[in-house]
Structure 1
């Protein structure tokens, strides 16, 4: 299947032949659906914090930060903004053959954009670009100069560098909003705020330029020091593409085609970071300062929930790792088993692990020695995305998992019924602990479920191909983490999926 030249190309990418062969096998056999048992709900897998508990968890986090723990904020920011403007691109194409009036009457998104144009944070820049070119302020130019390099070039820029929000002192990009937000909960005892952005190679220079432009201003404004780092998705995580016969897809020059493997590949980037607490949040889920407090409170509270349970886990890790099974009392093992089942929600489908003390010891030791994450969950109001479920794991346990709709069998009436009854969805609001009781980092690559990838059909150079994504960052890539779900208010979830989302009240 592979020539020596192919093998050399694979090695040069930092990948390994057996990994590529496994990917080809995945194309042939497909990925299995993830069996879900039921949707997680409040008091059945999802914790709802009372006002009193919210305050306690915030206080615990603040106390631990004052005591020296090091937080970090991780922001996936590599996606291009082109999908935000899908309707505007369609409208721009229609303008070439149809009158502006007709296009506007048929394309409600273009109509909404034009009617609300003065409210956008980029409106002044757009008008200036059109006028500087001596062009008319007509509908066509208001769309074209936004999207193309004739003007703002927003159609090819990343979301993080677009102007989202207006302030009296100027406009802010999502990148800047993450700086302002991070200063409020990801600041250590030395007033240093560490934030790591994953960016695409072609956009890193733009992010760095913006950082250099605004860093000093925000440090002075917020009274902190920013430690901002960037990384790119590693080429070694790209997956091979195949044709419809599952043979390696080749470029015109005969070389193998590799494609980025989705956000699940970012587990490698996350694995390279060193922090006690890592907050994860998408680049486009930001709000202006006037609405940030709910987000700040719940970010700290999620961290407080994590720290509360981590304290118990560390005690169990130390005992199970440092004592011989014979020295451990049955009562202690029963306590750990109860914690796993009733707090961390890891439930064996049978008592197979509990028949012998030695078996129970090894089972418990494996389960407590894993990374820990707390995932915020929002009540389902029709937004797309994955959700919280009780799912069946390959080792015979049932546990809490973030499950994407593509992982649920579309041909199963029972599975689809469970999915439709979900009360909450995943807004990508995570707090992670990636070290054990000794302060040693886990190798996060060991806690993924490689069986939760995804295959899609694409095309290149007019030829059909199949592409493969690695397990998603917050589902398959964290499948074998200890997981807790906490309900967070919907006002903490304000993503921008289309340009007109910026006309919502929470973004103005």
Structure 2
């Protein structure tokens, strides 16, 4: 199936025949659906903190940070903003074909965009480029200024380099907002703020230039030192494409076609980082300063919960890793099993504890020796995407999982009914820890479920193909982590999916 050149190309990417062959086998057999048991709700897998608990958790986190717990913020930022401007590109194409402006403005989203042009944080940049009030220009001229290289080039830039929020004349990009956020809840004992952005290769230079332009200003404003790094999705995480008949898809020159493996590929980037606590949040989920306090409070509260949980887990790890099973009494096993089931929400297979002491020992040891994540969950308000569920794992145990709709058999009426019961949504608001009680890092690739990939239909050069995504970063790639779900306020979730989202009150000045 593969020539010597194919093998050489794989090796150059950091891949190999075995990995690619496994991917092709995945296309042939497909990925199994995840068996969800029921939705996670308040009191049934989702924790709702009261005011006193929030204060206590924040205070505990602050104390740990002062003691030297190392903090890092991880921001996936490689996505292009082109989808944000889909409607604008369509309007531009219509106008170039001679469609009258009034007809373009008959669409409500276009009417809304142009009538509120002054409210965008990039309005002054448009004005400077045009040399006059942009509202004096034709619709096509405005769209060209926003989208093309002759203007702001927003149609081709990543979201991180777009101006999101107005602060008088010094308006901020979402990249800057993450830098500000980092100073507010991810400041290390030595005053450094470590933030890692994953970016696409073609935009890293732009990010680095932007950082150079704003770094000193924010360091002075928040009395911090920024330690900001960048990485790109690794070629070794790309997946092979196949024809509809599951044969390797080849380019016109005969070479194999590989495609990016989706956001699950970023697990490799995350695995390269070193910190005691890692905050994960998407690049487009930011708010202006006057709305930041609640975000900061809940970030610290989630981190405090994680650190408190970690201390207790470390105690079990230490005992299980330094004692033989026969030296531990039944009281310890009962306590550890109860903690695993009722605090970490990991139910044993068939809801029965292992009958043999040695068997239970190894089961507990494997479940306690895992990375930890605390995931914020917001009330479901119709947003597309994953949600919190109880699901059955490959070893027969049941645990909390972030589940995407693509992982569920929607043709099964019972499974579909469980989705309708869901009350909360995953906003990608995670606080993670991936070291054991000795301070040794886990290899995160060992805690991913390879059976949770995704297959989709695509095309290239007019030819149909099938593409494969790796297990998603916050669902399948973290499937075998110890997990807590905590309700967070909806105000902490303000993604920007279309340019008009920037006109929502959450993204406008106070």
Q: Please give the TM-score of this superposition, normalised by the length of structure 1.
A: 0.98
Whole-Å separation in 2 of the counterparts to 1:34 and 1:297: 34
Counterpart position of 2:202:
202
Q: CA deviation at 1:16?
A: 1.4
Whole-Å separation in 2 of the counterparts to 1:462 and 1:133: 43
Q: CA deviation at 1:496?
A: 0.3
Counterpart position of 1:292:
292
Q: CA deviation at 1:292?
A: 0.2
Q: Secondary structure at the match of 2:155?
A: coil
Instruction: List runs of 5+ in structure 2 lacking aligned partners.
Output: none
Q: CA deviation at 1:303?
A: 0.4
1:272 aligns with 2:250: no
How many pairs are equivalent?
A: 507
Cα RMSD of the aligned pairs, angstroms, is 1.3
Contact 1:23 1:239 in 2 (8 A): yes
1:54 aligns with 2:23: no
Counterpart position of 1:101:
102
**Residues 282-337 of structure 1, C-alpha deviation per residue, up to 9 Å, x if partnerless?**
00000011100000000000001101111110000000000111111111011110
Deviates more, 1:318-327 or 1:163-172: 163-172
**Residues 397-434 of structure 1, C-alpha deviation per residue, up to 9 Å, x if partnerless?**
11000001111111111111100110000000000011
Whole-Å separation in 2 of the counterparts to 1:488 and 1:360: 35
Query: Superposition pairs for residues 120-139 of structure 1, below 5 Å?
Result: 120-131=120-131, 137-139=137-139
1:140 aligns with 2:140: yes
Q: Please give the TM-score of this superposition, normalised by the length of structure 2.
A: 0.98
Contact 1:135 1:141 in 2 (8 A): no
Query: Superposition pairs for residues 378-417 of structure 1, below 5 Å?
Result: 378-417=378-417
Q: Secondary structure at the match of 2:376?
A: strand
Whole-Å separation in 2 of the counterparts to 1:327 and 1:167: 64
1:340 aligns with 2:319: no
Distance 1:314 1:135, change over 3 A: closer
Q: Secondary structure at the match of 2:466?
A: strand
Whole-Å separation in 2 of the counterparts to 1:425 and 1:452: 19
Instruction: List runs of 5+ in structure 1 lacking aligned partners.
Output: none
Q: CA deviation at 1:349?
A: 3.5
Query: Superposition pairs for residues 103-252 of structure 1, below 5 Å?
Result: 103-105=104-106, 107-131=107-131, 137-252=137-252
Whole-Å separation in 2 of the counterparts to 1:482 and 1:134: 53
Q: Secondary structure at the match of 1:373?
A: strand
Q: CA deviation at 1:127?
A: 2.5
Counterpart position of 1:366:
366
Contact 2:127 2:133 in 1 (8 A): no
**Residues 249-285 of structure 1, C-alpha deviation per residue, up to 9 Å, x if partnerless?**
1111110000000000000000000000000000000
Whole-Å separation in 1 of the counterparts to 2:191 and 2:291: 23
Contact 2:349 2:395 in 1 (8 A): no
Q: Secondary structure at the match of 1:27?
A: helix
Whole-Å separation in 2 of the counterparts to 1:331 and 1:110: 67
Counterpart position of 2:16:
16
Q: CA deviation at 1:169?
A: 4.5
Whole-Å separation in 2 of the counterparts to 1:491 and 1:136: 36
Contact 2:375 2:485 in 1 (8 A): yes
Counterpart position of 1:315:
315
Counterpart position of 2:79:
79
Contact 1:65 1:188 in 2 (8 A): yes
